[in-house]
A and B are shown apart, each in its own frame.
Chain A
Amino acid sequence: MTKQADERPVLSVSGLDVSFSTMRGDVKAVSDVSFDLKRGEVLALVGESGSGKSVSTRAVMGIVRGNATINARRMELAGHDLLTADEEQKRKLRGRVISLVFQDALSALNPVLSIGDQLGELYRTHLNVSKKEARERSIELLRSVHLASADKRIDDYPHQFSGGMRQRILIASAIALKPEVLIADEPTTALDVTVQAQILDLLDELRDELGMAILLITHDLGVVARMAERVAVMYAGRLVETGSVDDIFRAPSHPYTAALMASAPRIETVEKLEPIKGSPPNLIAPPPGCAFNPRCTHLGELCTKVRPELIGDLPGRSRACHYPLVETAHVG
C-alpha cells in the first residue's frame, strides 16, 4: 500500500537541546534529542502535553518562539547543514524542502486573504509564475486535497470553511511546493473522528504520490498505530524509547511507554483503566536520575541516582531505562 521507506535519512538530528529562560528559571524543554527520518517514512513523535514534541520540531524548522537557547551536534536536511545555514538559506528550505502543518488551521491561515491569494502567493514568490498560472495551480492543488468545488471556492476566506476543510487547505499550502519532509504537529487533534479519518487518508495518499517523509507529532496512540512505521516516545524533554511501531506496540520496553499504553481505553474491552499516577515533572527542576522515577512502578536502586542513557540493542530499537521490561514469551 505505501512505498517502502528508503534507507537514507532526509532529516537527521543529533543532540538537540532547547531551553527557555523564564522568570522562574531555565525550562529545559528539549534535552539531547536525536532522530533520523528516512525518505518516504512516517515517524511518529509521541508523548504527553509539555513533553517537548512541538519545541523539538520548531527548532528543526528554525521557528522557535520566545527566549530560547538552541544547541545541536548535527541538524541536516536533504544535504543541507541547518547548523551553518543563514536565515536566507533556511527561509528557502522552508516550504520547498520541509514544511509544517499545525493543529490550529484557523490561526495558521491569513484571515484577510482569500485562499486563492494565499496559495497563489506561494507559487508566485517561489516559482515565479504568472498570476493566472498561480491561480490554476492553486485550484489543481485544492483538488489534490479533495476540497469540494475547488474552482468555485478559491475566492472564499478561511472563516467560510469548516474545520476539516481548513485543515485540507493548510495541508495544501504545506505541500504546494512538494517538500521532501512534512512535519504534521497534531494535524487532527482539533477535528472530529470522522473528519480525522479523512485527513489521515489524505496524508497517506500524498505520501504515496509525492514520496514525502512525514514527522507526525501526536499524543494519540491510535493515530500512531494507524499512520506510522516508526515511533519515538518523549518524556520530559527526552526520548525514552524508539523503535518500529509493530515492535513497540507489541512489547514496549520502557516502563513509561508501557504505562502510557496501559492507560489508553479500548472499545472492545471493559477492563478497569490503569492510569499513571501523578503528573509529568516540572522542567525547571526535573527529578534527579530518571525523570520518570516519581511515577514509575518498576523502580530500582539506580533510578533516583543516575540518569539512564538512550541505548539500543537491536537495530533501530533503543530505550533509556536502567531496568527495561523484558518481553515475556507468548505460549503457543
Chain B
Amino acid sequence: MTSLDNFRLEVRQWLETNCPESQRQPIIKEEQIWGGRRRIFPSPDARLWFERMRDKGWTAPDWPTEYGGGGLSAAEAKVLEQEMQALGCRPPLYEIGLWMFGPALLEYGSEQQKLEHIPKIVRGEIRWSQGYSEPSAGSDLASLITRAEDMGDHFLVNGSKMWTTQADKADWIFCLVRTDPKVPKQEGISFLLIDMASEGVSTAPIELISGESEFCQTFFEDVRVPKENLVGELNAGWSIAKRLLKHERKLMSIMEMMVEKEDETVVELAKRYVGVDGTGQLRDNALRTQLTRHLMNSQAIEWTSYRLFEQHGQVIKDAGLPLIMKHISTTELQRKDELILAIMGNRGLSLKDAEYSHKEQRLVKNWAYNKAQTIAGGTSEIQLNIIAKRALDLPGH
C-alpha cells in the first residue's frame, strides 16, 4: 500500500466520523456556508462541520500550514476531494477569497500581507468581494477608470465597480484601480485591497432576472487606502489580475459540482415529469435524445477535467487544455438547465407562486441565474478569442 492509499483510508475514516449526516445531503444554495464577520450558519450541523474542517485547515487543503492551510500535496488534496465527493460531503466553506483571491495573494502578496489575510480566509472570518468590472469596462477590463491617487502616505480612491458579487455582505474587496492614466492601459493598473468599512465606500444592490440580488454596484468616494494594501508593484496589477482570472475560470468550470447538487438526477427528473412507456423508455423521444446528448457531454467534460489533473507534472501536456474548461463547462451547464425546464414543462415557469414546489422554483431560479455563467469571469466569446489566440495560434489583426 502506498502512503497515498494510507492517506485515503485515514481521510475516509475521518470524514465518516466527523461529517454530520445532514452535511452529506445534496447542497442547495440556502444552505451554503459563507464566511465573514457577519456570517450566519444555516444550521448547528453546518457550523460543526465547518469548524471541524477549519481546524484541520481543510477549508484550504493545499495551502501552506504557516498561513493556516492544510498543507496537503496536490495529490493528497485530490484524494480529499474524491473522498468528500464519494461520501457526498458538502463544501465546508464558500468563499471568493478561498477560490480566487487567496491563491493569487499566496503568489504575489508580501509576507506581511499573506500573514494578515490568508489565515482569516481559511478560518472563514473575512469575506471577500471582487472589484474588477466597471460600468464602462467589462470584457475590455483593462479600460477601467476607477482612480487611485498616490497621496504620499495613502491612496485616494474614486470611482465605481459594477457587478460586485455579494459586496453588501463582504468585509473586504480586492480592486483593480488606475494608478497611471498616461501609459498604455494595461500598464497603469494596480491591485489594491480595500476594507469595505472604510469611509466613502457604499453599495447599491442590483436585482437580477433570477429575482435575486447578489450583485452590487460599489461606489468609492474619496476613500483613503493605506499604502500597505497595494499588492505587488505599483502599476503591475494587470498580471495579478489575469492570474486571478485563471483561478476564477477554473472555479467556474467546476461550478456545477460546487453550487448545486440535487437529490434527483436529470434522468429521474425526466422520468417523473415526462413519464415512461411500458419498456421504461421516456415518452418523449426528442427529449430522450437531448438528455443523452447532455449526459454524454457532461461526462466528457468531467473526464476532461480529470485528464487535465492527470497531466499536472507530466512532461507531455496538452497546453491548450486548461483554456477550454470554462467555456465547455458553463455552456453545458446552461444546456442542462434548458433541458430541465423543457422536462418540467409548464411546471417550470414560475419563480414564486406557491402552487409550485420549492424545488420547481429553485430549478427555474437556477436556470435564470446560470445565464451568468457564460458572462462572468470573461464571456464565452472572450474565452473563444483566447483559445484561438493561445491554443491555436491564429493571427491577430
A and B: interacting chains: no
